[in-house]
Structure 1
Amino acid sequence: MKKIFSFVAASLLCAQFAFAQQEKVIKAGTIVPLQSINQVKAADVEEGQTVDFRVTQDIMVDGKCVIPRGYLVKGKVTEARKSSLAGTKGRLAINISSMNLPSGDPVFFTNTDVRINGKNRTPLAVVTGIFLWPCIFIPGSKAVMPAGYDVQATVASNTTVSAK
């Protein structure tokens, strides 16, 4: 009976040790390179809408992959202003605050805002509008984030995750 109990206890300790070995810590400040999947135009999206990004390289900790390449990350549109008359530029802002790994572990990012601004043509529209009335209708340029736009997300704090 003692042998069976000892064997079971030893097995449980080994299993616990093996499980502990699969948990890794992603250190605060780790850069996670992302890339936009689709083109996003400020005129076509609304605040609160989600935008998809993908991880462009495996993030490794102690030789184990903790964030796989190609994993999907969602950003949230926080500002979407299309260009308008009198040279006003378009503006697009997307916030990427966190991601959930396949294991269910959340990873939070800090200061990961994507900001795209069109060109402001207000001075051109106003000056030429003084001399030529129709020129006041010159719009600013549009805010467009192309597909494949590179973004670097920074891990906010030390995060324990399950590794493969």
Structure 2
Amino acid sequence: MKVMMTNGTVDFLQKLQQKHPEANMLVMENANGGLAYYEGNNDDLFEEERVYETVDQVGELKPDGYVVMNNIPVTDEGRPIFEDRFKNRKGNIEGMPGFTALRILRPLQSSTYVVLTQWEDANSFQNWKSSQAFEQAHQNTDAHKRDRPSFSAGPAYVTQYNLVKPH
């Protein structure tokens, strides 16, 4: 499945959402502005977008909740290693209270993958981060080592959003 994202003001993105009600577009915001997220095959929604392919997915994204995106730059040679690691993950996150959905997104125009998780609220995400399930899911990964993983093309960063209910 194809995924597209674009940034803008929340007001602008909500107008796009209203213009394309069939698209099931999600609009979210944080302190830096708005983000529109779309899964599907409509290439005419955004003028400037980041395009991804879905590597793995769990659950259905909902129009309300809390979204965390781990943005991970990956080398060309490291793509198979990175994707295999996520395809063979332990699946501990699915059983966490408040978990809604997961998307592993392969970039088509850059080197930065996105690991998107959706939660009922920010507390659900914090509970996951402090859980034994989180520790078990990450215990044998390079993420707990000082050195960057072999597939790394630069430092990863996290963005967090609250979904904005449609008008």
Shared fold, TM over 0.5: no
TM-score, length basis structure 1? 0.22
Which structure has the bigger radius of gyration?
1
TM-score, length basis structure 2? 0.22
